[in-house]
Structure 1
Amino acid sequence: MTAPATAGRTCRRRSALAPFVALAAVATLLLAGCERPSTAAYVGDRGISASSLDKAVQAGLASSAAMRSAWGSRESLYRQRVLSNAVYHQLTLRAAARAAVSVSEAEVSTVTRGIDTTLFTQLGIAPADVRAFLRDVLVSGEVAVKEHAVGSSYSLGLIGVTSKAEATQVLAALNANPNSYESLVAKHQGSLPDPQNVTLQQLARLVTGPALLKLHDGSNLTVSTQQGMGVIHIFGIDRFDLTKATETQKLQASVEIYPASRSYVASVAAPRVKINPRYGQWDPATGEITTLGNSALVPRATATASASASVSAG
Structure 2
Amino acid sequence: MFLEVSQLEVRYAGRAQAAVRGVTLGLAAGEIGVLIGPSGCGKTTLLRAVAGLEPVTAGEIRLSGALVGGAGRSVPPEQRRIGMVFQDYALFPHLSVGRNVAFGIHRLPRAEQAARVDEVLRLVGLEGSAARFPHELSGGQQQRVALARALAPRPQLMLLDEPFSNLDVDLRERLAHEVRGILKAAGATALFVTHDQLEAFAIGDRIGVMESGQLHQWDDAYALYHRPAMRFVADFIGHGVFAPATLEQRGDNVVARTPLGDLTDIAECPLPTSYPGGECDVLLRADDVVHDDASPVQARIVRKSFRGSEFLYTLQLRDGLTVMAHVPSHHDHAVGEWIGIRPQVDHVVAFPRA
Q: TM-score range by the shorter chain?
A: under 0.3
Higher strand content, 1 or 2: 2
Please give the TM-score of this superposition, normalised by the length of structure 2: 0.22
Larger relative CO (CA 8 A, sep 6+): 1 or 2? 1
